[in-house]
Structure formats: C-alpha cells, structure tokens
Amino acid sequence: MPMESPRIRRALITVSDKLGLIDFGRALADADIELYSTGGTRRHLERHGVPVRDISMHTGFPEMMDGRLKTLHPKVFGGILCRHDRPDDFDAMADFDIVPFELVVVNLYPFEATVARPGVTEAEAIEQIDIGGPSLIRAAAKNHRWITIATSTEQYSSILEAIQDNGRTSLDLRRRLAREAFVRTAMYDRAIAAFFQNRASTSAFPDAHQIVLSKKMDLRYGENPHQAAALYAEPGHRGASLVNARQLNGKDLSYNNLLDLDAALGIVRMLADPACAVIKHSNPCGAAIAPSPADAASRALEGDPQSAFGSVLGFNRTVDTETAERLSRPGLFIEAIVAPDFEAAAIGILTTKPKWKDNVRLMRVGRLDNHQAPRHYRQIEGGLLVQDADVLPDIPSNWRTATARTTAPESRIDLAFAWTLVRHVKSNAIVVCREGTLWGAGAGQMSRVDSVDIALRKAGDRARGAVLASDAFFPFPDSIEIAARAGVAAIIQPGGSRRDDEVIAACDAHGIPMIFTGKRHFRH
C-alpha cells in the first residue's frame, strides 16, 4: 500500500449550492477523475455535459423516501473511511467490491436560510436538516490523512490547483480543509439546535447557548499593542456592519478602531437626517445633524475640536467631495471613517490631500438599515452575560412633560436628538445639545452630577439655550441647579427617582421644562 498521499482518481459530489460546480466538475473530469453523484447534482452535471456516474448504480441501492436516503451505504462510507496504509482495510474493500473516493465535495441543505424566512413552518425546517451530508463531511474530514474534503465553493480553486500540479493534494491543504469542514458541521448543528431550542423554550433565552463564529481577520493588536486580537463573524450575518465592511484605504485595523467605528455606526444609523458622529474611546465627543454630510461633519467637529484629533468618524450618507474637502483641512487628524459609501473623487481627496492620507482607514458598509443584533453579549470571568440589545427606537408620543412649563417648539428637535445621543454615551451619561449639534458630553463618571459638570464645562457658553439629556434619573436636584446656572433651556430624562418631586420643583423654580421618557438607557 502506498504511504504517500493517494492520487485522486474518484470524487463523490453531492451539493445543494451549485455555484461554480460545472467548471469544477469539468476540470476534475479533464484530470481523468471519475465523478460520482446523487440525484439533483448528477442531473445538473449531466445537463452541462460533464461525465458523471450515478451513486445509486454504484451502490446497487436506489434513492428513496424523496431523497432522504441516498449516500448512507457501506460502499460510499467504506470508500471514504478506508485507511490507505492499512492492508486489512483494502482486503475488506475487495471482499465487498468497494472502491476508494479520494475527494468528497459536499455542501449542506440550506437550513439556515430556510429558518431565516418569515413564517417558516417546523415541517419546512425539518426537511432542510441534512443527514447524509454532515455524515459524509465528518467521515472525509476524519480521514483527512488520505481524503480531501471540500465544503465550500471558495475551496474549489485551491483543490484544482493542487490536482493540476501533481494529481494529489498536500497534507497541509487537507488538514486545513478538514478544520473548515468540522467548523461547518458545528455551525450547522448549532443552527438546528438553536431553532428547536427557541421553539421549545418558554423563556426568551434557551437553557443552553451556543456561539460558533468564523474568523474574519487578524487585527494589528488588541486594546494595547502587547495584546493579540482577531475579528470573528457571526454565521449568516447580513446588513451594514463592520464585519461586512470593505476597507478602501489605510493601515490594518486594530481592536480599538473597530470598537470606535462600531460606536460611530450605531449613532448615525439611528438618525434620519444627514449625520456625522465623532468618536473617541467609544464615546461621542462630537455629533451633528445638518442638511448635508459636509455641514454635519463641520458642526460635529466643532463640538470638541481638541478631543476630535485622532478620532473616528461615522456618516449615514455617502461621503462626497465637499465632505472630503472639509475633512482634509490642515490641523485635523482622523484615524478612520465609516460610511455607507464614498464617492470616487472623495476617496481621491482623502487619500492624497491630508497628511494622514496613507493611514486613514476608509470603511464602506453599504446602505444603512435599522437592523441590528437582537442580543448583546459581554464576557465575564467564567461566563457570558446575554441581554436584549438596546436598539429599539424611542417613541416621543410616550414621553410626558413633568414640569409646569412645556418645552418650546424649537427645543423639541434638539431634545429628540439629545435623547438619541445619550443612549450611546457610557454611564453615567449626560449630553448637551443645541441646533442639532453635540456641544458637551459627560461620560463614565461615578457621580451623575460630575457628568453634568463635565458636559457643561465642555459646552461652555454654548450651553445657554441648549438642552440637556440624562441616560437615567437625577437622584438629587443638584444637577438641575448646575444646569440652570449654565442657562440650559430644557431637560430630558427617564424619571423614576424617589426624589422626582424635588427635581421637578427645582426645574419649576428656574422655569426649565423637563420631559420624562419613562425609559432608561444605561450603557456600562
């Protein structure tokens, strides 16, 4: 028996996704590899003139039960599981007329896509649970010392390249393909388990929680240069996100870049008007809405110019040439920009004009929507905290005026804008806004009154006539006294303190209208 990896002479192909299959199958046939296949896959190959043998003719057993039973046969699995350095395995094969398959090509029924459809029934989902496919994958991956397993159309080219070079694949390639195969079956089983757990559980959270992620990329480093880091993607995730973004320019991304870019994207996607968010250390140091992205960028950067140096920017509109020109002004340094898209001329400006041209990371995420992950995860020592993500929009019609004085019409847009922003600032969170612009933010303080003081000091004279938002209730009226001295025109907060009456009385004493939203937005 040969000790080296065997030459590929036979391939078993059974796939649901037939993308690239004809070219792949034709190339295998041209390399004198015999192809064996099952019903739908075989007919697809035959229609395109690719020579293929029916696996049922090989096993002597027909497909039955509407295709539920096709490949589960000793002549199939014996040909995959045989060890090419074991004479006794080959003796058993000879006794039962079994031939080896050196290449197995399988992708699975589209269970994940099926259960993602609205209104899918349990019966429909069950019919998309692949049985033979995972068994074939696991058998071939287990025997990767000899067998090559392909589970993705993206793997075809590397397999063909090896075959066309010397008729066989390398052990390193087979090991990689086996790893990817086991990840695929794990993700598939996880999707099936999650579907049935969610249907059976009376709780919003199942008794067992499985997370299977695939690595998207290695990162430059983690929060600090001595920490290694990587980005992983959720299976099947779609929509505008950093995981699906295309990097158009700049250095490799770091852990902190992605956190800040995600924070920027989270803010601007919740704003209907053209908007720009300026992020430092996951908090907005500037944000604005305006008639154009260029004006929004200018106003957002005016909010805290000192903190904006070395910041990350997010837009909810295409970055055009006017915006790029504004961002390229002398003295401004930008680490990264995320946006639905960038005009070609804007990319040219941002990558040639400013001093940071070669370094700035430009991330295109595509058309923004309001779809965001329904769950939020945070690791603690020995476990994982899981909660509903705080992504649902607030409903102004549910708000109520708690004070004797009502808010002026000109303040209402700013109040809604401030309330949108404050939920993206780390608790204790305070923001001061006026004319669609963030002028001051207090974040992450142990005392709410300290956050108020910081936000108002950042805003300076611009606090006069502005609105102030708090992510949680004021426990004492001291924050109101500070806001009144700064000239704040209106306040928005959740309410719910035992001392709400004292806080309301302080606002009434200073003639400051205050809205209770009834919803807290802590962001730890």
Please report which confidence band the pLDDT of residue 198 belongs to, taking 50, 70 and 90 as the band edges.
confident
54 plus 147 within the same structural domain: yes
Segments forming the whole domain that contains residue 308? 238-364
pLDDT in tens, 110-150: 888 888 888 888 898 888 888 888 999 999 999 999 999 99
Q: What is the reported pLDDT for 146? A: 92
As a whole number, mean pLDDT of residues 167-183 equals 94
- Asked if pLDDT for residue 220 goes beyond 50, the answer is yes
315 or 189, which is more confident: 315
277 plus 426 within the same structural domain: no
Domain contains 446: yes
pLDDT in tens, 389-437: 998 889 999 999 999 999 988 889 999 999 999 999 999 999 999 999 9
Q: Is 275 helix (H, G, I), strand (E, B) or coil?
A: strand
Domain contains 131: yes
Q: What is the reported pLDDT for 4? A: 64
Is 371 considered catalytic here? no
Please report which confidence band the pLDDT of residue 456 belongs to, taking 50, 70 and 90 as the band edges.
very high
Q: Which of 142, 209, 251, 519 is catalytic?
A: 142
29 plus 145 within the same structural domain: yes
Domain contains 1: no
25 plus 123 within the same structural domain: yes
Please tell me the total count of domains within the chain: 3
Percent of the chain with pLDDT over 90: 70
Which of 240, 243, 176, 237 has its CA nearest to residue 211? 237
pLDDT in tens, 60-96: 777 777 767 777 788 888 989 898 888 998 888 888 8
Tell me which of 200, 222, 247 is where a domain ends: 200
152 plus 279 within the same structural domain: no
Is residue 465 exposed (0-12), middle (13-18) or buried (19+ Cβ within 10 Å)? middle
Q: What is the reported pLDDT for 266? A: 94
- Asked if pLDDT for residue 3 goes beyond 60, the answer is no
Please report which confidence band the pLDDT of residue 261 belongs to, taking 50, 70 and 90 as the band edges.
very high
* pLDDT mean across residues, the chain: 91
**CATH number of residue 467's parent domain:** 3.40.140.20
pLDDT in tens, 328-337: 999 899 999 9
306 plus 411 within the same structural domain: no
Question: Which residues 6+ apart lie within 8 Å of 207 measured at CB?
Answer: 197, 201
- Asked if pLDDT for residue 1 goes beyond 50, the answer is no
Is 144 considered catalytic here? no
Q: What is the reported pLDDT for 172? A: 93
- Asked if pLDDT for residue 180 goes beyond 60, the answer is yes
353 plus 403 within the same structural domain: no
Tell me which of 154, 183, 200 is where a domain ends: 200
pLDDT in tens, 326-366: 999 998 999 999 999 999 999 999 999 999 999 999 999 99
- Asked if pLDDT for residue 282 goes beyond 70, the answer is yes
Q: Which residue stretches of 111-248 are H helix?
A: 111-116, 122-127, 132-142, 156-166, 171-200
**CATH number of residue 101's parent domain:** 3.40.50.1380
43 plus 158 within the same structural domain: yes
Q: Which of 281, 353, 357, 519 is catalytic?
A: 281
Q: What is the reported pLDDT for 372? A: 63
321 plus 410 within the same structural domain: no
Q: Which residue stretches of 63-170 are H helix?
A: 74-81, 87-95, 111-116, 122-127, 132-142, 156-166
351 plus 481 within the same structural domain: no
